[in-house]
Amino acid sequence: MGTVTLEIEGKTVQAEKGTTVLEAARSAGIHIPTLCHDDRLEEYGGCRMCMVEIETKRGRKRLVASCVYPVEEGLRVQTATEKVKKIRRMIIELLWPSWQPYAEEYGVTSSRFKTGMTDCSLCGLCVRYCADVKKANNVYFKGRGVERQPALVDGAELECRACGECFTLCGSGWIASRC
């Protein structure tokens, strides 16, 4: 498949074509925070916590979700610019108080938003794990926009409690509290 050379935080990194920026950074020991990423699941890019600032060989800069953006030859990646930090702080505030693992790191102590959700970060890990790995489809999202929330298929509580595999994926504890 071949390799490409890119730069992440000033460090030269070699990665296989088709690798994501997140995978390349992790292989080089460079931390990029995530909320909706799990190695057992297909990349989702839903939470945007893994946003990074890239610069292409042509000098174009933009923000991308590192978990779904493929590496490119000559790509330059910055993982902690002020723009990136601002986005991560906003994400933490929007998910407040359901998901706070990075709150201290980014200096977030409260939220200026009233989101209505208090026990789910909408990361989708439980939904995707149940569908893609277990093939059970017992957890799903209902509603749209600010009305979006996870739900269990009617009668799934006992099956979910017996399985429990997605409980450890849930950073907010929503799924375990429903079973």
| pLDDT (0 to 100) of residue 117 | 57
Sheet holding 76-78, edge to edge: 11-16, 3-8, 76-78, 51-55, 61-65
Least Cα distance to 91 among 72, 75, 105 occurs for: 105
Which residue bears the tokens 């790509």?
75
Region 103-123 average pLDDT: 80
**Domain closes at, from 79, 100, 115:** 79
Asked if residue 102 belongs to a domain, the reply is no
Least Cα distance to 131 among 34, 9, 41 occurs for: 41
**Domain closes at, from 79, 101, 135:** 79
The band of 96, judged by pLDDT with boundaries at 50, 70 and 90, is: confident
Tell how far CA 25 is from the center of its chain.
15
Q: How many domains does the chain have?
A: 2
Asked if residue 106 belongs to a domain, the reply is no
Count of C-beta atoms within a 10 Å radius of residue 145: 5
Say what the pTM is: 0.85
**Domain range holding 66?**
3-79
pLDDT at 24 over 90: yes
Least Cα distance to 47 among 7, 105, 98 occurs for: 98
In this structure, the answer to whether residues 129 and 73 fall within a common structural domain is no
Between the CA of residue 80 and those of 57, 91, 157, 164, what are the distances in Å?
A: 20, 15, 41, 35
